[in-house]
Amino acid sequence: MSESVVDKLITALLEEEGTYTALVRAGLTGKINAICEVARAYEAIVAKLPKTADGVPIVPGMKVYQTDPTGYVQGYDVGVNQAADDSSWPSPAYLTYSQCYSTREAAEAAAEAAAAQQRVLEDTLDKLVRIVRET
């Protein structure tokens, strides 16, 4: 499991010379611990949200982007009822959040990467066919 933002913050505070001592002297350690507990609770909630293919949590009101096999990018608005899971997704049946991206640029980059991979596969197949024909 990766280190949470809260844990990174605490580590940074402890590593910064004099910062933690200053917090203790100011009597703020209890408040900081309370804030960290709330932040951990929020992190747990965010961890349960569905994610796009690029790992961004999906929330109502955001727009997600998907590419079709031709590379065309389509944006979809996420409604309140749709943010819970893929089963309430109103768009084509083949589309799920895990196939969407958080930005148009990310969707375009994914489409370009998929196209490049497809070209490599086609080139490899062509080479194999040539080898088989030559033997």
pLDDT band of residue 105 (cuts 50, 70, 90) is very high
Answer yes or no: is pLDDT of 32 > 90.
Answer: no
pLDDT, tens digit, 9 for 90 and up, residues 39-66: 889 889 888 888 889 999 988 888 889 8
Question: Are 72 and 23 in the same domain?
Answer: no
Number of structural domains found in the chain: 2
Question: Are 77 and 31 in the same domain?
Answer: no
Question: Are 43 and 68 in the same domain?
Answer: no
Question: Are 117 and 84 in the same domain?
Answer: yes
Question: Are 67 and 44 in the same domain?
Answer: no
Q: What is the pLDDT of residue 7?
A: 75
Q: How many angstroms separate the CA atoms of 58 and 109, rounded? A: 19
- Which comes out higher in pLDDT, residue 91 or 40? 40
Domain of residue 11: give its range.
5-48
Answer yes or no: is pLDDT of 88 > 50.
Answer: no
- For residues 90-114, average pLDDT: 80
- For residues 73-87, average pLDDT: 66
Question: Are 72 and 114 in the same domain?
Answer: yes
Q: How many angstroms separate the CA atoms of 83 and 98, rounded? A: 12
Q: What is the pLDDT of residue 30?
A: 82
* CA end-to-end span of the chain: 51
Tokens 């997600």 appear where?
64
Helix extents (H) in the chain? 5-15, 19-25, 29-48, 104-134
